[in-house]
Structure 1
Amino acid sequence: MSDLFSSAGLETEAPRPLADRLRPQTLEDVVGQDHVLGPEGPLGRMLAQGRLSSLILWGPPGVGKTTIARLLAEKAGLEFDAISAVFSGVADLKKAFERARARRQAGRGTLLFVDEIHRFNRAQQDGFLPVAEEGIITLVGATTENPSFELNAALLSRCQVMVLKRLDAEALDKLLRRAEAEEGTTLPLTEDAREGLIAMADGDGRYMLNLAEELIALKPDAPLDLKDLSSVLQKRAPVYDKDREEHYNLISALHKSVRGSDPDAALYWLARMLSAGEDPLYLARRIVRMANEEIGLADPGAVHAALAAKDVYEFLGSPEGDLALAQAVVHIACAPKSNAVYAAWKAALRTAKGTGSLMPPAHILNAPTQLMKEVGYGQGYEYDHDVEGGVSGQNYFPTEMGKPPTFYEPKPQGREAALLERLERFRAVRAERAKRGD
């Protein structure tokens, strides 16, 4: 049969992609995951002790989750059985469990690899519990999503979560050298273009090997520089999902960079989110929130700058309006910081919820009727504008609360420094009056 194929100019096997041909054959060949697979890593120690528990492999695309699962099965002497949650349902799970039971009866164990395990619903995830507990399968699930949010607590309690890292430049360069050795050639790139290719991969080894295969097939007359590389290859879109963990990670990084008064880092995270397709008006809302939470009265103009940026963006749109968001981010990152109003508001809310329906003191109650005046409403109230210094020092909290609480503590910086000085004077007047018992 093979002679018939050869005589017709055909191969008996379909050509295999470079990434598949370079798939590691041993755990030692896996790059970039030594923190998990090395002798001191959790999987390395587990295998050295001759055991393998159920696992969740959590990491970005193209870092070797499927390959690691297959090699773990081989190392542990287990049959490798793989299903994908994208294409499988309850019937497929039952068949996989039946195959594992049959192997168990024949004295062989099964490593069941479940790709995209987070795609299974809660009930389907619960289906793994009894077969894993009975030892019928050793479950290895792979996910690109945070297991804390996407997997049942019951399933997580029976599995160890192994966090796989995106491949760094060193690991990706090692893969490129393997690709060159496999193909018996050197990538037709200048040094800068080679670094650019690694950057294009954005930590995804499989994607980078696919790009390398394209370049080798291209066979240019001269090595490509960085500009040529950008014109012949499509850069990988950043890993970003506006309703998943990456979204929350990046907005957290932006917010904390602003809080830490680092305008450069804040601009970087803003640019990352905008270039990944984040809704600019979502970012505008968050910038307004930051101005209130992190700056407050230390720079009252910050919230106005943030609101103006929102208005400018709505008027201009992208890309011109993006600059307004960048300007607001730099403003609030460089502004003096104070969370005093934010902290005061939270404390006031706690106290208000805890004191129920206490009435204001009688002297600050309105008395629009004669009856109200007769029962003491408004009696003894002092009009602060008529008092020397403009502050009477009267108590404005419910009498039952005793000593008035202090919520707002201005920071001694920015505009709040002057407020601190004024409040200290006002509070001294109140303290003196309370001491006199007025």
Structure 2
Amino acid sequence: MAYIVLMADLFDNAAAAPAADVPPSNRPGPLADRLRPASLDDVIGQGHLLGPDGALRVMLEGALPSLVLWGPPGVGKTTIARLLADRAGLHFVQISAIFTGVADLRRVFEMARNRRANGQGTLLFVDEIHRFNKAQQDGFLPYMEDGTITLVGATTENPSFELNAALMSRAQVLVLQRLTLRDMELLTQRAEAELGAKLPLDGPAREVLQEMADGDGRALLNLVEQVAGWGATKRVDRDMLAARLQRRAAQYDKSGDSHYNLISALHKSVRGSDPDAALYWLARMLKGGEDPRYLARRVTRMAVEDIGLADPQAQGICLQAWETYERLGSPEGEQAIANAVLYLALAPKSNASYSAYKASMKQAGETGSEPPPMHIRNAPTKMMKDQGYGSGYAYDHDQVDGFSGQNYFPDGMKRPVYYVPVDRGFERELGRRLDWFVEQRAKRGKG
């Protein structure tokens, strides 16, 4: 892993002073609080929102609308909300949906109404806003509509899943991004300036420290404080750092947005025939604590949907991997699932049978109760035979080439084509067989 030396001039929205030229600060409190930006220009990261043409910069030219800030932990949602209140001249009130009840909200709204009567607006920042239920979310609407509050909600969950439509229609959703390694280096430089000393880390260890924070600025500053507190007199390398600090657990919610994003990444990597990427996303989900049985089921679905008849063995291999996991358990059984993922990624791909099935289901719903033609109806009784059930049926095994070419669709229905094999894998052979049947049907005039 190459160590990346990053200078402050790589950033458009902030500047870092050299740590060696800045005396240590005597301000009390955690490093994260001491480094809280005093203006939007000091915020690290989120250039797509806070840059010269960023969405928030444009919004501040007029009346600030209600917002939902969606992003991972430690990227500045609370800080941005405070700074927006300062820029817009609004009184800042912060609550958490975890600790706030209906009575608390009523008091907040009443105080905001009083401020408004005195000419002072209120920016109400609601942390973890997705924790409020639908009725509580609806309670904000009248106060947003009459201008009593400007709502800024913060959430780590996908708002389209967690917030109701009425609230979403009255607020703009802004997506905040996890901090990059460049952002983390700038934040480290600022921390060193505040502490008045460089961290006792060599280049690779410095990069590992930033990676340990996993895009979370608050987590990085906590790690920096720990390292600075060691009082090391010689440089710490990456192995010593890893021994002293525990890597932060990856962000993964087995029932949230991250879950669906990662399984989508795994599925698309398999579909895209990239075994290394597929293994990476599989490992990310397993490391996050995903149930291997869920992965075994989804991997089997990939075989059905994306490999299909191009490799008929694929589905069986997935089922064997699933059964192997059930017999071996974790962690040995997870290797069987990894084997299946690799097989699928390298298998020939076809969604022809998947597409054919969906098309047939669609038309079956449209044609209603059209009966089969008389010659292929069941005729268990004499009365039914007298009515013509089964009359004229040609038994294919009695034909010279084992193919009668009769029509098996409802009378009067135009013959559809659902299944179009691809020219890959075993499905190439199926395509040749299908072509022969089509040709014979046309020759016999019974297509």
Q: Same fold (TM over 0.5)?
A: yes
1:21 corresponds, among 12, 28, 34, to 34
- Pick one of 400, 403, 409 that aligns with 1:391: 403
2:215 to 203, 214, 217: 203
Tell me how far 1:269 sits from its aligned partner.
0.6
Displacement of 1:370 in angstroms is 2.8
Partner residue in 1 for 2:360: 348
2:51 alignment partner in structure 1: 38
Aligned to 1:62, which of 71, 74, 86? 74
Instruction: Provide the aligned length of Structure 1 versus Structure 2.
Output: 422
Structure 2 counterpart of 1:41, which letter? G
- DSSP-derived class of the 1:142 partner: strand
**2:252 paired with 1:233:** no
Shift of 1:14: 9.9
TM value normalised by structure 2: 0.92
Letter in 1 for 2:64: L
Q: Which amino acid aligns with 1:290?
A: M
**Alpha-carbon contact 1:373-1:379 (below 8 Å) kept:** yes
Structure having greater relative contact order (Cα 8 Å, sep ≥ 6): 2
The 2-side partners of 1:39 and 1:373 are apart by 82
Query: In the alignment, which residue of structure 1 is the partner of 2:439?
Result: 428
CA distance in 1 between counterparts of 2:322 and 2:249 reads 27
Correspondences of 1:27-106 after superposition (within 5 Å):
27-47=40-60, 49-106=61-118
CA displacement, residues 110-166 of structure 1 (integer Å, 9 cap, x when unaligned): 111111111111111111111111111111111111111111111111111111000
TM-score by length of 1: 0.94
Paired position in structure 1 for 2:187: 175
Tell me the secondary structure at the aligned position of residue 401 of structure 2: helix
Q: CA deviation at 1:195?
A: 0.7
State the match for 1:3 in structure 2: none
Judge conservation of contact 1:172–1:198 (CA < 8 Å) in 2.
Answer: yes
Query: Would you say the 8 A contact 2:67–2:173 is kept in 1?
Result: yes
**What is the CA RMSD across the aligned residues, in angstroms?**
1.5
Tell whether 2:290 aligns with 1:311: no
Find out whether 1:411 has 2:422 as its counterpart: yes
Local SS of the residue matching 2:94: strand
Deviations 1:224-282 (A, max 9, x none): 21111111112111111111111000001111111111111111110110111000010
Structure 1 stretches of at least 4 aligned residues deviating more than 6 Å after TM superposition: none
Q: Could you tell me whether the CA contact under 8 Å between 1:395 and 1:430 is conserved in 2?
A: no
Instruction: Give 1:369 shift.
Output: 2.9
- After alignment, is 92-101 or 370-379 more displaced? 370-379
Query: For structure 1, which segment, 223-232 or 253-262, has the greater mean C-alpha deviation from structure 2 after superposition?
Result: 223-232
Query: C-alpha separation between the residues in 2 aligned to 1:208 and 1:214?
Result: 10
Aligned residue runs from structure 1 range 3-402, under 5 A: 15-47=28-60, 49-401=61-413
Judge conservation of contact 1:50–1:76 (CA < 8 Å) in 2: no
The alignment partner of 1:371 has SS state of helix
2:27–2:34 CA contact under 8 A, matched in 1: no
How far apart, in 1, do the equivalents of 2:149 and 2:405 lie? 74
Structure 1: distance between partners of 2:306 and 2:355: 10
* Counterpart AA for 1:18: L
1:347 and 1:368 mapped to 2: Cα distance?
32
Cα distance in 1 for partners of 2:28, 2:42 equals 23
What is the distance in 2 between the residues matched to 1:183 and 1:261?
A: 49
Q: Does the CA-based 8 Å contact 1:168-1:203 persist in structure 2?
A: yes
Which amino acid letter does the alignment assign opposite residue 281 of structure 2? W
Q: Determine the C-alpha separation between the residues in 1 that align with 2:95 and 2:375.
A: 75
The structural deviation recorded for 1:433 is 2.8
Amino acid aligned to 2:43? V
Percent identical across equivalent pairs?
Answer: 63
Q: Which 5+ residue runs of structure 1 have no aligned equivalent?
A: 1-12
- With 113-122 and 316-325 compared, the bigger mean Cα shift is at 316-325
CA distance, structure 2, for counterparts of residue 141 and residue 368 of structure 1: 68
